Amino acid sequence: MEMDKIMIFMVVLGSVIQYGGAQKVHVVGDNICWSIPPSNDAYSNWASLNIFKVGDILEFDFKSGEHNVVEVSRDSFETCTTNIAINTPITNGPARLTLNSTGDHFYICSFETHCKLGQKLAIIVVSDATPPSGPNNSCTPPSPPASRASPTPSPSVPS
Distance of CA 9 to CAs 16, 19, 106, Å? Answer: 11, 15, 40
Express each pLDDT in 121-141 by its tens digit. 999 999 987 554 444 444 444
pLDDT of 53 higher than 60: yes
Phi then psi for residue 155, to 5 deg, are: -65, 140
Whether 4 has a pLDDT exceeding 60, the answer reads no
Q: Please give the pLDDT value at position 135.
A: 43
Separation of first and last alpha carbons in the chain: 101
Is the alpha carbon torsion for 28, 30, 34, 36 positive or negative? negative
Extents of the domains making up the chain:
22-124
Convert the pLDDT of each residue in 65-100 to its tens digit. Answer: 999 999 999 999 999 998 888 989 999 999 999 999
33 near 62, Cβ under 8 Å? yes
State residue 98 phi and psi, 5-degree precision. Answer: -85, 130
Per DSSP, what are the bridge partners of residue 98? 57
Give the SS3 label for residue 27: strand
Q: What percent of the chain has pLDDT over 90?
A: 62
Tell how many helices (H) and how many strands (E) occur in the chain.
3, 7
pLDDT of residue 110: 96
Are the beta carbons of 34 and 27 closer than 8 angstroms?
no
CATH of domain 22-124: 2.60.40.420
Residues 6 or more apart in contact with residue 67 via CB below 8 angstroms = 34, 35, 60, 93, 109, 111, 114, 119
